[in-house]
Amino acid sequence: MNRVRILTLNAALPALDYRVPDGMQVQPGSIVLAPLGPRQITGIVWEADRLETGDVPDSKLRPLADVMPVPPLSTPLRRLIEWTADYYCAPLSAVARMVISSGGALNGPTTMTEYRLSGGMPERMTPQREAAIDALQGEQATIRELAGIAGVSEGVLRGLVNQGVIEPVSVAIDRLFPTAKPDFDVPALSPDQREVTDRLVEAVAARKFAPFLLDGVTGSGKTETYFEAMAQAIRMGRQVLVLLPEIALTENFLIRFEQRFGAAPVLWHSSLKSTERRRAWRAISEGTAQVVVGARSALFLPYADLGLIVVDEAHEVSFKQDDGVRYNARDVSVMRARFEGFPVVLASATPALESLQMAESGIYEKLDLPSRFGGAQLPHIDTINLGEEPPERGRWLAPRLVAALEDRLAKGEQSLLFLNRRGYAPLTLCRHCGFRFQCPNCSAWLVEHRFSQRLACHHCGHETAPPDACPECGEPDCLVACGPGVERIADEVAELLPEARVAIATSDTLNSPERAAQFIHEAEQCAIDVIVGTQLVTKGFHFPELTLVGVVDADLGLDGGDLRAGERTYQQIVQVAGRAGRGSKPGEVLIQTRHPDAPVIAALAAGDRDAFYAAETEARRHARAPPFGRWAAIIISSEGDAEARQAANRLDDARPHIDDLMILGPAPAPLAMLRGRYRYRFLINARRNVEVQKIIMAWLATQQFAPGVRVGVDIDPYSFV
C-alpha cells in the first residue's frame, strides 16, 4: 500500500492522507492534485511523521488525481516552511501558499492567451467602451487584468472580444530569460572594496552557510561589491536572489545590473501580471532564472539551486510583512541560507541594532566599507533649531534652509527636501465648528491630496472629494489644511523660488516603472532643481549634482511610542543625508528640529554613529527590547466592537502566568479601528530564552473564537499600531 500525507494550501483543512495510484511517481515535496469531496485541491506531499492528521484506514483512502509537472519542493525548503510557520505562529498552509505563489505555473509548459486591441472599432460605441479602448492602448494582458487597467467590468471587455475589437494572442510562457554575463563589465575596485569582495567570493565558492553584515557608509560601493559575489555564483551556475525594500528602487537597480552584467535580471513583485509571474516562477523552479530581484515575497520561491541571497538596505522596515504571515524577510533569509547552505549578505549603511548585535557576538561576519568611493566626502550635517530660527508664519522652511536652497539654485546644483508625509496636509478641519475629516473605516485622519483633489485614508485607501461646505455645520469655504505634506512643501518652494523646477517624488507620483525611470533620468540630467520626497527618495539614488539635503521635520517619526522610533529616525536621516555630495562637490545637510538635544538628533549632527548605537543599545537593554528581550503582539479584531472586546477579555481570563514573561493589555490598539474592524491588543514582553511562540499558541488554543473574530499574532513586531 502506497500511502502519502499531503499539506493542503487551505488553513481550514487538516493534513490529508491519500493512496498513490499504480504508476504514479511521488516523493516528499511533490505538488499534487487530490480529490476532496466533489472538488480537486492542490497539496504538497509531506513526510507523514511531521504532520498530524486523523486515522483513516487504508481501505478508505482516495487516490491522488495527478502530480504537477514541476520539480518537487526540496527538503530544505520544506524545513524552511515549517520553521517559518512555527516561528511566526502562522499556519503551514499560509507559508506554503507563499511558495506556490503562481497557480498557473503548476500546469507545466504551455501557452496562454492574452488579449489586446486589434485596431477595429465596435459597431456601437458607448462611453464605457470608448474609455476602455482609450485605456487599453498598448496593453496586453488577460481579460481580468485588462478590466483592472481600464476600470471596467470583464463583461464589457468580453463584449469587445465578441466584436473583434479586442483580439486573443497566444503567448509562450516558458521563453528563456536573457543570460547574465559575469564578466560583462567588471569594475576596478578600491582596496577596501577588493578586500570585502574577496571574502564574499570565497564564501560563495565554498557553498556553505555564511551570514555577512556588509556595513558600509552611503556611497561606499556596497552594490558594486556584492555584484562581484553575484558574479561568482553565476559563474558556478547557481542562482542569486537580491531582495530590495521597495519596488520603486528596482528601476535604479535594473539599470546598474544591466551595465554590470549585460542583461536584465528576473523580476518578482506583487504587481507582476499572471503570465510574467508564471514565467518567472517556472524559470526559478527549473534553475534557468539566474538572478532574481524582488520584494520580500521573492524569498519563498522554490529556487532550484540558490547560491547567494543579498538583502539590500537590510535594516528597512518594509522587509517585515504586516498581515498574513507576519515574517521578516531579513531574518528568514538568514534561515533559508542556513537550511540550504550558502552565504547571505545583509547590506546597509545603518544596520539594525539586532544585526549589529549578531555581528558583535560573532554569529554574523562583519565586513566594513568605511569611506565613500572615489574620494567623495560624507556631507556636513547641521541642525536648525526651529524654536530659535522659526519659519515665517504659515511656512515650513526656516530662513537658513531657504537661503541654502537659493544658493544651490544660483549655482545650478540640486537640492532634496525630505518629509515623510504624502499629500498636501495630514489633517483638514472646519474653521467654523472644528470638525475634522476622519476615515469612516479607520481611526485615522483623511489626508488631503491637492493634485488629485482627494481626501484619502493612508490605511485603507478610502477616498472622497473635498466638499465645498463643512459636512457638520454646513458653513461654506471654511476648510483649513493643518500641517504640511510634500505637496505643500513643493508649493512653498514654488512660491519662494519661482524659477526653480520642482519635482515631487512619492509613491503617488512614481507609481510605475516608467515614471520612476523618467524621474531618475530628469534628476540625473539636472532637469530638476528641487526634489521634494518621502522616504522613497532616501535610498539607492545617486544624483551627482545633488549637494543639499533639507530634512523638513526630523521630529516627525520620534513621537508615536514605537520602540524603534529613534532607530528609524536615525536610519532615515542618515540615508537621506547620504544622497548629498555623492559626486565631486561636497554635500550639506540641514535638519529642522524642535529638539536639537534629543540623542538621535545630537548624534546625527555630531556624525557620531557609535554614540547613537550605544545610547540606543542601553535603552533597549533597559526596556528588555530586542535584541535583549522579545516582543510579541496579539491583535483581536472584529467588525463589532463588543464582540472584539469580549473575545479579548475572555482571552485575558485565560492568560498564562509565567516567569520572565509580561503581558500588557488587552487595550484598544493605537489604530483602534482599521478597515472597518475594531482592534484590541495584547503586548507580550519576555526574556530571550522564553519560548514565546509555544506559550502564545497554547494560550490561544484555550479559546474558541467566534467566526467574525480574527486573531493575529505578530512575533518581533515592527508596527506597533
By CB under 5 A, name the binding residues for Zn ion: 439, 441-442, 457, 459-460, 462
What is the smallest separation between the CB atom of 413 and ligand ADP, expressed in angstroms?
17
Which listed residue (5, 222, 278, 296) binds ligand ADP by CB under 6 A?
222
Q: Cβ closer to ligand ADP: 328 or 348?
A: 348
Binding part of the chain for ligand ADP, among 214-222, 417-425, 595-603, 627-635 by CB under 6 A, reads 214-222
Strand spans (E) along 399-462: 414-418, 427-430, 447-449, 454-456
With CB under 6 A, what is the number of residues at the site for ligand ADP? 15
**Interface with ligand ADP, residue 221, by CB under 6 A:** yes
Which listed residue (342, 373, 424, 613) binds ligand ADP by CB under 6 A?
373
Q: What are the residues facing 638 on neighbouring strands? A: 678
What is the smallest separation between the CB atom of 714 and ligand ADP, expressed in angstroms?
31
Residue 182 three-state SS: coil
Q: What are the residues facing 267 on neighbouring strands? A: 293
Q: Cβ closer to ligand ADP: 223 or 333?
A: 223
> Which parts of 509-568 interact with ligand ADP (CB under 6 A)?
542
Binding part of the chain for ligand ADP, among 127-135, 187-195, 482-490, 679-687 by CB under 6 A, reads 187-195
Q: 563: closest CA among 618, 602, 619?
A: 619
139, 157 in Cβ contact below 8 A?
no
Q: What are the residues facing 425 on neighbouring strands? A: 448
What is the spatial distance between Cα 173 and Cα 190, in angstroms, rounded to a whole number?
43
What is the smallest separation between the CB atom of 373 and ligand ADP, expressed in angstroms?
4
Q: Which does 459 bind (CB under 5 to 8 A by kind): Zn ion, ligand ADP, none?
A: Zn ion
What is the spatial distance between Cα 26 and Cα 398, in angstroms, rounded to a whole number?
69
What is the spatial distance between Cα 500 and Cα 37, in angstroms, rounded to a whole number?
68
**Interface with ligand ADP, residue 315, by CB under 6 A:** no
Task: State the pairing for strand pair 588-593/710-715.
Answer: unpaired
Q: Cβ closer to Zn ion: 158 or 459?
A: 459
Is the bond leading into 666 cis (omega within 30 degrees of zero)? yes
Q: 44: closest CA among 79, 2, 103, 4?
A: 4
140, 115 in Cβ contact below 8 A?
yes
Binding part of the chain for ligand ADP, among 43-51, 184-192, 297-305, 695-703 by CB under 6 A, reads 184-192
Residue 458, burial from CB neighbour count under 10 angstroms (0-12, 13-18, 19+): middle
**Interface with ligand ADP, residue 216, by CB under 6 A:** yes
Which listed residue (189, 236, 254, 658) binds ligand ADP by CB under 6 A?
189
Q: Cβ closer to ligand ADP: 221 or 343?
A: 221
**Interface with ligand ADP, residue 239, by CB under 6 A:** no
At 481, give phi and psi (nearest 5°). -90, 135
What is the spatial distance between Cα 303 and Cα 102, in angstroms, rounded to a whole number?
14
Q: Which does 596 bind (CB under 5 to 8 A by kind): Zn ion, ligand ADP, none?
A: none
C-alpha dihedral (7, 12, 14, 19), degrees to nearest 10: -60
What is the smallest separation between the CB atom of 711 and Zn ion, expressed in angstroms?
21
Amino acid type, 80: L
Binding part of the chain for ligand ADP, among 37-45, 218-226, 401-409, 637-645 by CB under 6 A, reads 218-226
What is the spatial distance between Cα 677 and Cα 124, in angstroms, rounded to a whole number?
45
Amino acid type, 610: D
Q: Cβ closer to Zn ion: 467 or 474?
A: 467
Q: Cβ closer to Zn ion: 152 or 457?
A: 457
**Interface with ligand ADP, residue 348, by CB under 6 A:** no
What is the smallest separation between the CB atom of 182 and ligand ADP, expressed in angstroms?
16
Residue where the block lists cell 559563474 = 235
Q: What are the grid coordinates assigned to 545, written together?
A: 549634482
Q: Which does 441 bind (CB under 5 to 8 A by kind): Zn ion, ligand ADP, none?
A: Zn ion
Q: Which does 442 bind (CB under 5 to 8 A by kind): ligand ADP, Zn ion, none?
A: Zn ion
What is the smallest separation between the CB atom of 319 and ligand ADP, expressed in angstroms?
17
Q: What are the grid coordinates assigned to 59, written together?
A: 481501505
Q: Which does 221 bind (CB under 5 to 8 A by kind): Zn ion, ligand ADP, none?
A: ligand ADP
Which listed residue (182, 211, 219, 587) binds ligand ADP by CB under 6 A?
219
Q: Cβ closer to ligand ADP: 193 or 274?
A: 193
Residue where the block lists cell 520626497 = 533
What is the smallest separation between the CB atom of 367 and ligand ADP, expressed in angstroms?
12
Write the DSSP string, 643-661: HHHHHHHHHHHT----TTE
**Interface with ligand ADP, residue 253, by CB under 6 A:** no
**Interface with ligand ADP, residue 101, by CB under 6 A:** no
Residue where the block lists cell 528568514 = 332
What is the smallest separation between the CB atom of 292 and ligand ADP, expressed in angstroms?
19
Q: Which residue's beta carbon is nearest to the bound ligand ADP? A: 221
H or E element at residue 505: strand 502-505
706-710 CB contacts, 8 Å cutoff, 24+ apart: 706/638, 706/643, 706/647, 708/638, 708/639, 708/640, 708/643, 709/636, 709/637, 709/638, 709/643, 709/644, 709/647, 710/636, 710/637, 710/638, 710/677
Which listed residue (30, 93, 101, 223) binds ligand ADP by CB under 6 A?
223
Residue where the block lists cell 527549473 = 286
What is the smallest separation between the CB atom of 464 and Zn ion, expressed in angstroms?
11
Task: Find the distance separating the first CA and the last CA of the chain, reported in whole Å.
Answer: 53
Q: Cβ closer to ligand ADP: 595 or 609?
A: 609
How large is the greatest C-alpha to C-alpha distance in the chain, in angstroms?
Answer: 86
What is the spatial distance between Cα 320 and Cα 77, in angstroms, rounded to a whole number?
20
Q: Cβ closer to Zn ion: 430 or 457?
A: 457
Binding part of the chain for ligand ADP, among 182-190, 329-337, 586-594, 662-670 by CB under 6 A, reads 182-190
Which listed residue (122, 178, 187, 466) binds ligand ADP by CB under 6 A?
187
For helices 599-606 and 609-622, the axis angle rounded to 10 degrees is: 160
Binding part of the chain for ligand ADP, among 89-97, 189-197, 387-395, 606-614 by CB under 6 A, reads 189-197
Which listed residue (74, 84, 101, 193) binds ligand ADP by CB under 6 A?
193
For helices 222-235 and 191-206, the axis angle rounded to 10 degrees is: 30
Q: Cβ closer to ligand ADP: 193 or 290?
A: 193
**Interface with ligand ADP, residue 396, by CB under 6 A:** no
Strand spans (E) along 584-676: 588-593, 629-638, 661-674
What is the smallest separation between the CB atom of 346 and ligand ADP, expressed in angstroms?
13
What is the smallest separation between the CB atom of 215 and ligand ADP, expressed in angstroms?
10
Sign of CA dihedral 709, 710, 716, 719: negative
What is the spatial distance between Cα 302 and Cα 305, in angstroms, rounded to a whole number?
9
Residues lying near ligand ADP in the complex (CB under 6 A): 187-190, 193, 216, 218-224, 373, 542
